[in-house]
Amino acid sequence: MSKQPVTIEFSLPEWVNGYCMSYRATSNLSERMQFVIKAAQKNINLKTGGPFAAAIFEEKTGELVSLGVNLVTTQGMSILHAEMVAIAVAQKKLGTYDLGAENVASHELVSSTEPCAMCFGAVPWSGIRTVVTGAMDEDARNIGFDEGPKPDDWIFELASRGIKVIDKVERESAVEVLTEYKCNDGFIYNSRES
């Protein structure tokens, strides 16, 4: 076995930097969501991963902190859902594993689709204060993804930890991305299908 410590790395697709530069800070949630939904669409169009994107914004100013896209099939790790990528990038950028720390602005996660069970579980650990979602769990399931077992009262569970959820923002546009992916025979990368 190599003497070097094992290092794991993953990278955002090359198009992400340029795309992020097109974003202008906005207080309008629909506009923040449209930015994220278009990123999910680009991720498919440019074949850099699955039909999901998520971004972290400073809640008050709308400044973009990080954009994540689903990288499971393209970077070979099942944990690389868009929300997980966005969280990791934001924390590295800000130099803290707690986006809700005392000296840090409030942060909001905007996700093109409601988080799956893993990403939902990641939210309380991350320090995020608000979660904004587009497509719903059932929309992802309708195209074949097993989103996993979130508790039925997942919104309440986050609320009880002081984390707000605003759902169905631009849901129709978000669902279009999923539907188009499915219609173009996009690969549905659940595991253990064999």
Residues that bind a second copy (CB under 8 A): 1-14, 16-17, 20-21, 72-73, 76-81, 84-85, 87-89, 91-92, 95-102, 116-122, 124-127, 129, 146, 148-152, 154, 157, 161-163, 189-194
Cβ proximity to a second copy: between 75 and 142 the closer is 75
The distance of closest approach from Cβ of residue 81 to a second copy in the complex, given in angstroms and rounded to an integer, is 8
Crossing angle between the packed helical segments 171-183 and 29-45, to the nearest 10 degrees: 10
Cβ proximity to a second copy: between 2 and 28 the closer is 2
The distance of closest approach from Cβ of residue 173 to a second copy in the complex, given in angstroms and rounded to an integer, is 25
Backbone angles phi, psi at 12, to 5 degrees: -70, 150
Contacts of 182 (CB under 8 A, 6+ apart): 143, 144, 188
Cβ proximity to a second copy: between 28 and 76 the closer is 76
Rounded to an integer, what distance in angstroms lies between the CA atom of residue 166 and that of residue 30?
11
Q: How far lies 118's CA from each of 15, 81, 102, in Å?
A: 26, 9, 26
The distance of closest approach from Cβ of residue 121 to a second copy in the complex, given in angstroms and rounded to an integer, is 3
